[in-house]
Amino acid sequence: MEQDPWSFGQACAPLAGVDLTGWRVEAVDGHIGEVDEHSDETGNAFLVVDAGGWIFGKLLIPAGAVERIDHTACTLHLSLRKGQVEDAPQFLPDRHVADREYREDIVSYYWKAGPC
């Protein structure tokens, strides 16, 4: 993986100070859900996505999976397929910041087949 998975890529700039809450999240092959919470902190940037009815619970997606941002349409486009997101580990709110092993598991899951 060339890019830090916990940072937004250069194609996603400018992002500082933008509230992404409620923005649409799109996989390569369709709609995933909406941003429930996020961080744009370099080295700790992520999305918590509420996938609505098709996936139970919320998902933690490292910012490195965001391929591009459409500020006009308030939409984040991921470099992931819906199937990758559908089977992803659930978001664990008490572990996502401090638990290094959980974060490594998340990155390993999304990048197991090579870079997104």
The closest of 15, 13, 48 to 32, measured between CA atoms, is 48
- Partners of 77 in the beta sheet? 26, 68
* R_g (Cα) of the chain, nearest Å: 13
Residue 89 lies in a domain: yes
Residue 1 lies in a domain: no
CATH number (domain holding residue 68): 2.30.30.240
Sign of CA dihedral 47, 52, 53, 58: positive
Measured torsion, CA atoms of residues 35, 36, 41, 42, in degrees rounded to the nearest 10: -40
Confidence (pLDDT) at 90: 83
Residue 5 lies in a domain: no
Number of DSSP helices (H) and strands (E) in the chain, helices first: 2, 6
* Parts of the chain with a pLDDT under 70: 1-2, 13-14, 54, 113-116
Domain span at 82: 10-111
Confidence (pLDDT) at 2: 59
Q: Are 69 and 76 in contact (CB under 8 A)?
A: yes
Residue 2 lies in a domain: no
Confidence (pLDDT) at 69: 92
Residue 15 lies in a domain: yes
Confidence (pLDDT) at 14: 64
Confidence (pLDDT) at 67: 93
Residue 22 lies in a domain: yes
Q: Which residue has the tokens 């996505």?
A: 49
Q: What's the whole-model pTM score?
A: 0.87
